[in-house]
Structure 1
Amino acid sequence: MNIAETHLPNWLQRSADNTPHKIAVSTPEISWSFTELNQQAMQLARQLATLGVRPGSRVALLASNGLPFVVCVHALMRLGAILVPLNVRLTLEEQIWLLRDVEALALVSDLHYQARATELQRALPSLLEATLLLDTTKRQVTLQDISPDAQTRLIDEIDLEAVQSIMYTSGTTGTPKGVIITYKMQWWNALGSALNLGHHPEDDCWLLCMPLFHIGGLSILLKNVIYGIRIIVYEKFDAPLVNQAIQSQGVTIISVVAVMLQRMLADLDSRQQQYPSTLRCVLLGGGPAPRPLLEACAQRHVPVVQTYGLTESCSQAVTLAPGDALRKLGSAGRPLLPVQLRIMAEDVVAQPQQPGVICLKGPSITAGYDHRPDATAATITDGWLATGDIGYVDEEGYLYVLDRRNDLIISGGENIYPAEIEAILLAHPEVEEAGVCGQADAQWGQVPIAFVHLHTGSSLSPETLQAYITPGLARYKLPRAIYIVDHLPRNSSGKLLRRELPALLDRERLK
């Protein structure tokens, strides 16, 4: 292949050239044009070069959502270095393990995580360390006490085959693995998404309140400069703040998971408001969405577009086109243009409506895991990634995601999908969250048990809730017990951690 076919101009530089004065990124503190963002990235790249960062260097980033994180991502691209975003919610020991596993050269943190960065550097003395500073008066991001290397040659082109980042799986099952994310994956993911959702460069504004250390958040940073659109970045999700931005700041697209959307709707209802017509897409991911939530959105004319993806697919792989949102309620849609999809049941391609393992293939799908040849071989066969998720396609090729294979409950030979039971529980107006997992049983092998978190002020009893769900579920799917709890365990991206539900049985929260 000719080298010109695998290289593109730097995406941020091109947006700065084409629309120099257009706002690229906004936060509560600062708004920058594409020109300003580009200048900040080049300046920080020269400081990182002084620190010792070179092409191919693996640089861990420990920072909250904000301009320092955004600038660092683009600065590393200018040096050809590899970004390794650290989950800020991990323990010190987990972060030490990850830094060793990825063989990081340097750790860059913001002020919020400076103390943790010091602990990490103490545990790993060879690790280079630097702190990102945001000066709101000077409107700039810099590395503390590090001068820029003016002689550093910055990279003006993007090699699509190069590694952009190594992103560790959330660890919902087993030991986290470093997923190799290339520029090619980001490029094709962005193109596939735009072809599905539409591309409105003059008007689009994507609100980013997902963690940037997860692929869902990071991929929006790349779409920002590939599309040349504005993004609004919030440090964390806050339903009233998000709703206010949608009402007043021209937000057209937002990415959320189900629990976030539920809180947004509750806040919206408390204000007796509706979303403006400028909001054209609420991209809903993070696992199967409860049908009652989708129906509530349809009643309120909230433009929900379900999507299915994972770190290994560089975020979206399958997305429901806006025109199908009501016709295919509950579906994650059809695969994006670059992605192939098939369902495998017992090593055979499944027929329509037959559940099986969701498998993906295409240029936006990872080629494997960093220094994990066994894990790569176990997951990827002839380019096909076995996701570990269970789903089926209908006669028109629309995907319906049922559950994680590891969350599947097998009771007396029958397959039980926790998400199905959770959806019935969530249909009760007093239930805010629901989680279902399997419990060992001498007779049936496993039986389902449920945990629910009620809305404030509710006195709903497990017995009343059990009676409510009984008409809607086959007998073998009925939970053996329902427990009322204060909260459900979720990871930093909002996904329910069903494997941690049994631990709630041993805690004093149970009522």
Structure 2
Amino acid sequence: METQNWLLKQAATQPKKVAVDDGNQQLTFCQLKAIVEDFASRLDQLHPGEKVGLLANNDLQSYEIALAVLASGRTIVWLNWRLADEELQRQMKDSDLAVCLVDDPLWRETMDERFVSYTDFLALSQGSRPLVATFDYDRVASIMYTSGTTGNPKGVLQTFGNHFYSAVSSALNLGLTSSDEWLCVAPIFHISGFSIIMRGLIYGMTVRIVDKFRVENVAAILAAEPVTIMSVVPFMLKKLVAEQEATGRRYNAGFRCMLLGGGTIDRPTLVKCQQMAIPVVQCYGMTETCSQIVALRASDALAKLGSVGQPLFTTQLKLSAKGEILLKTPALTPGYLNLPDKLPAKMVDGWYKTGDVGHLDHDGYLYIDGRLDEMLISGGENIFPQEVEQVYLEYPGIKELAVVAKADPEWGQVPVAFVVADQRVADQQLIEFGYQHLAHYKVPRQYIYVDHLPKNASGKVQRFLLRQKLS
């Protein structure tokens, strides 16, 4: 199945509509098409093959180059600029990249001839070449490496069809208006950011791209500009709520919602959002599904506190006997790069095993309990670290906290907490606090204070390194 090149379609049907805005420059779909044709010609001069690597910041040139890769019939390999040299080289080799374009501020002295800075790319001869007329739904549009908390990251293949059905599902859930403008502050090398770019092309919607999250800057944009939707993680939402509390500055009248991913949010923050008329749509998704596949309506945010919602229109969901979340969706990846056996190993009777454990309430709303591979069993009882961590992050002065399993001769395993905090607190105080909110067997008895939690390039806690500290 094919679909017309989305950029060509938008340039033909609404040429004067603003496609992208970085706060300094606005480009219509017609203007964007001309730039992409030029950049596609410059790409040809590099002879990159079918795949092009990108080390990109959230900026206008990265947006334009990404579209040039897609519209020239090539696949983007998104690389995380937080990677160490060794990790970057490993992913370059795994994806067999001949060329990786590098945003100038991200240039490293260790980069070899395969890496081309944006400055050198723009110094190539200007030209114009016809863009591909159609996108094949089965063709791989992008490759993103999963974060890999315990092993080497895997390259997730994302087709044009995956992106299309993800966008359609999101539109059916959030609704779509002709005036929608989506603020993109999430990194575009993550699916949370890149999916906004793809939706902009599919919907014919303006993407307001922002280089990084600075709360005062983002709040000013939401107040003064016609942004209607913003994707956030809990950290961002809490910062924005605190900023509005401090300044009293309300967002523009057309603002519709915060799309919240990356974890659930606490009731006090949701109550404040409701009081401030900031709708919050919580959601659940992954790199393998091109963003969210389950979402909670803003109107249900308080009644279904902690839930990520119900499956979107194109998603089927059920739980295994162990409570693992299984799903079917046309947004699901066709596989992993160079790992043909990996996806089949995650399938059971046509259902994809997410590795996440959850439960459904009587209304069919999904709650995420944790990762199956992170669950610990103490005296026959299942404990999910995320549940414990959410509780303790409400304790004053605790900045970060991670729970891991420690072997115990009596109980098999017991939870231990690693804590980053403003100051030390007596263990008994933290235990008593835990007893107020959790079953006693879930409450850690040991609290280890550290300066920081070990994290990978995507910011996820590497629990296996914490477990090693206990052995």
TM beyond 0.5:
yes
1:252 deviates by 1.4
Find the residue that maps to 2:263 and give its secondary structure: coil
- Give the corresponding residue for 1:138: none
Distance 2:448 2:68 in 1: 49
1:301 deviates by 3.8
Which aligned pairs between 1:9-28 and structure 2 lie closer than 5 A?
9-28=4-23
1:326 aligned to 2:319?
Answer: no
1:92 aligned to 2:85?
Answer: yes
1:112 aligned to 2:98?
Answer: no
- Give the corresponding residue for 2:70: 77
Q: Is the deviation greater in 308-317 or in 424-433?
A: 424-433
- Give the corresponding residue for 2:164: 187
1:209 deviates by 0.9
CA contact (8 A) 1:294 1:330 kept: no
Distance 2:448 2:390 in 1: 16
Question: Which of residues 112, 122, 125 is equivalent to 1:144?
Answer: 122
Q: RMSD over aligned Cα, in angstroms?
A: 2.4
- Give the corresponding residue for 2:46: 51
CA contact (8 A) 1:169 1:178 kept: yes
1:83 deviates by 0.5
Q: Is the deviation greater in 23-32 or in 400-409?
A: 23-32
Residue identity opposite 2:121 in structure 1? L
1:194 deviates by 0.3
Closer/same/farther in 2, CA of residues 436 and 279 from structure 1, 3 Å limit: farther
Residue identity opposite 1:419 in structure 2? Q
CA contact (8 A) 1:46 1:148 kept: yes
- Give the corresponding residue for 2:366: 399
1:149 deviates by 5.4
- Give the corresponding residue for 2:183: 207
Find the residue that maps to 1:438 and give its secondary structure: strand
- Give the corresponding residue for 1:438: 405
Residue identity opposite 1:198 in structure 2? G
Closer/same/farther in 2, CA of residues 35 and 312 from structure 1, 3 Å limit: same
Residue identity opposite 1:209 in structure 2? V
Residue identity opposite 1:181 in structure 2? Q
Question: Which of residues 406, 411, 425 is equivalent to 2:392?
Answer: 425
Closer/same/farther in 2, CA of residues 217 and 74 from structure 1, 3 Å limit: same
CA contact (8 A) 1:53 1:81 kept: no
1:239 deviates by 1.7
1:62 aligned to 2:27?
Answer: no
Q: Deviations over 1:354-392 (max 9, x none)?
A: xx1111212111121112122122112344211111111
Find the residue that maps to 1:143 and give its secondary structure: helix
- Give the corresponding residue for 1:377: 344
Residue identity opposite 2:97 in structure 1? A
- Give the corresponding residue for 1:37: 32
Residue identity opposite 2:95 in structure 1? V
- Give the corresponding residue for 1:349: none
1:132 aligned to 2:109?
Answer: no
Distance 2:227 2:418 in 1: 35
Identify unmatched segments of 5+ residues in structure 2. none
CA contact (8 A) 2:406 2:470 kept: no
1:358 aligned to 2:325?
Answer: yes
Q: Is the deviation greater in 481-490 or in 165-174?
A: 481-490
Q: Deviations over 1:114-139 (max 9, x none)?
A: 225xx2426xxxx3x42224xxxxxx
Distance 2:276 2:417 in 1: 29
CA contact (8 A) 2:191 2:287 kept: yes
- Give the corresponding residue for 2:434: 469
Distance 1:72 1:276 in 2: 31
Residue identity opposite 1:386 in structure 2? K
Q: Deviations over 1:301-338 (max 9, x none)?
A: 43111100000011111111233223322211111111
1:469 deviates by 2.4
Q: Give TM-score scaled by structure 2 length.
A: 0.93
Identify unmatched segments of 5+ residues in structure 1. 1-5, 134-141, 347-355, 507-511
CA contact (8 A) 1:287 1:403 kept: no
1:176 aligned to 2:153?
Answer: yes
Find the residue that maps to 1:332 and give its secondary structure: strand
Residue identity opposite 2:444 in structure 1? P
1:462 deviates by 4.4
Distance 1:279 1:486 in 2: 39
- Give the corresponding residue for 2:202: 226
- Give the corresponding residue for 1:162: 139
Distance 2:66 2:100 in 1: 13
Residue identity opposite 2:223 in structure 1? Q
Residue identity opposite 1:468 in structure 2? F
Closer/same/farther in 2, CA of residues 415 and 261 from structure 1, 3 Å limit: same
Distance 1:491 1:291 in 2: 29
Distance 1:179 1:159 in 2: 18
Find the residue that maps to 2:107 and give its secondary structure: helix
- Give the corresponding residue for 2:417: 450
1:485 deviates by 4.1
Closer/same/farther in 2, CA of residues 465 and 267 from structure 1, 3 Å limit: farther
CA contact (8 A) 2:288 2:332 kept: yes
Distance 2:386 2:221 in 1: 31
Find the residue that maps to 1:192 and give its secondary structure: helix
- Give the corresponding residue for 2:112: 121
Q: Deviations over 1:94-116 (max 9, x none)?
A: 01001111111211111112225
